[in-house]
Chain A
């Protein structure tokens, strides 16, 4: 009997109970198999091929390579994030796996945050991390002016990473709300692209303070022109991510399996 086995300690109850179990399981799904190698190759290729095709005319080809990665690449990475994470909750609903794991002492917060943290690691390392390093190395090779500091580039990459985390949190929330992958994908894409269209609307003044500003902010930061509203955009993105996750957790608490 377990009670007689003094070495087995019960996990204490907490608001995020089950976080580690979900986090490690999600990471195992990628890094415990060969799936991550395919993903690394795909994402490096997707980042490098446009970089290589940047014309060699001009002295700042390295800057163009980095700009292309941060600006256009962030769209591609956001779509990729939606595709990678669209089924993370819906598939578990459909296969009844949620029914199984929620019969264990797992809190909705532990479940949502475990998923978010694991995918944040996956996206940070594979979708943006590895390509960012490779593209930077290629930019040096393609001649990068001394005025482009690696620190500014890293801040730019961090801004794009925040965009991806926002997309991830949104996809997780939609996964909790809906039972169809198509709905999750369509709404995530619609929100992402409709936000990108903000500058052409009546409320364009709000755009510099939102997540959607981070795409061009990242490019500007990399070139050494950190925008005045940059911190606001980053701060509001972090707050948005937290709000999306809180809504997902609260909805999960009320969901019937």
Chain B
């Protein structure tokens, strides 16, 4: 767990309610400096509201939050100074060109040499790949081009923290790939906190993840840690119907359950059986399971591995698990 001083975003019981409806509820975020953090949640989970709270664009109903150690409720201008933000559906001024849009945004931050400001703008136009289109009015831009411009304007002040609300959700696969590449290019220079509901994107570029559901935090941490948790599932493939090994497995105390898929033809036209073994003691399973299976001379093991979960599995498990728990309370 990173220390409080390493945290660029930190909240404690942050809550936002509109009337009786709590959109964000007791949120405790801890985003370390230097990370690329995916902020995951289904549509309507409260991601955009959380982002608005972090930027001080709306006031919390209760709880506290800091960005760079500054209060999100009272120090918003100081926060805006060091943050770059891209809204979910950015609406720029259509009559301005991309270059003029960046000049407009730059004028909130910089004064002095026009040459230096132009150089900074040129650098960003290059970074987001809008070189050939910089002098065209934004109203003619495609969704992907607007998003790239959005990232460029968010980075104009060389921010310590870039907050992006669904930067790639509305884009086609190529547009998404380009945006993710740009996001990755900020690694080592800025902390990136971006919301999305596309799990594949998070797994591709992020090193941390925060998952919320219906305004409540359900998980946060390093993606690697999350992926390595809950790996208590092992796969065993045997030739034949697998009955002897199944009987043996079900007698082991740390085997919780076994899901069986029988009569699958393999490439050599043999019938095979796949067993998905859920265990309570992963260490014991790792050392004992295979030995147990091959101890029966009639059993031919053709494959044995430990199940790997992707972020989608984890997200689904966490959200569904929480939903079941919530239902159980009523």
Contact = CB atoms under 8 A, between A and B. Distances in A.
Contacts of A33: 95
B107 A9 contact: no
Interface residues of A, number: 33
A28 B77 CA distance: 26
A180 interface: no
Interface in B104-150: 104-105, 107-113, 115-117, 119-120
A178 B125 CA distance: 37
A103 B91 CA distance: 13
A96 B116 contact: no
A32 B158 CA distance: 28
Interface in A96-123: 96-97, 99-100, 102-107
Given A95-B91, A103-B80, A7 B116 contact: yes
B81 interface: yes
B85 interface: yes
B89 A11 contact: no
Interface string A187-220: 0000000000000000000000000000000000
Interface string A75-100: 00000000000000000000111011
Interface in B200-246: none
A3 B93 contact: no
A9 B85 CA distance: 21
Nearest to B114: A7
B83 interface: yes
A7 B57 contact: no
Interface string B56-94: 011100000000000000000100110101011111110
Contact of A21 (B83, B104, B112): B104
B112 A7 contact: yes
B117 A8 contact: yes
Please classify the interface of chain A as helix (H, G, I), strand (E, B), loop, or mixed, using the class held by over half of its residues.
Answer: loop
A53 interface: no
A16 interface: no
B85 A2 contact: no
Contact of A17 (B52, B77, B83, B112): B77
Given A5-B116, A8-B112, A257-B52, A28 B95 contact: yes
A20 B96 contact: no
B157 interface: yes
- Determine which residue in A17, A103, A256 has the highest number of CB atoms from chain B within 10 A of its CB, and name it: A103
B27 interface: no
B26 interface: no
A233 B88 CA distance: 48
Interface in A25-43: 25, 28-29, 32-33
A9 B80 contact: no
A105 B90 contact: no
B77 A256 contact: no
Interface of A: 1-3, 5, 7-11, 13, 17-18, 20-21, 24-25, 28-29, 32-33, 95-97, 99-100, 102-107, 256-257
Given A2-B157, A2-B158, A13-B77, 11 more contacts: A1-B189, A3-B158, A7-B113, A7-B115, A24-B104, A96-B91, A97-B91, A99-B57, A99-B87, A103-B87, A104-B105
26 contacts: A1-B158, A2-B157, A3-B158, A8-B110, A8-B112, A8-B116, A8-B117, A9-B111, A9-B112, A21-B107, A25-B93, A28-B100, A32-B96, A96-B90, A99-B52, A99-B57, A100-B85, A100-B87, A102-B57, A105-B80, A105-B81, A105-B108, A105-B109, A106-B80, A106-B108, A257-B52
State the 9 A-B residue pairs at the shortest beta-carbon distance, nearest first. Answer: A7-B116, A9-B112, A103-B85, A7-B113, A2-B158, A95-B91, A104-B108, A21-B107, A256-B58
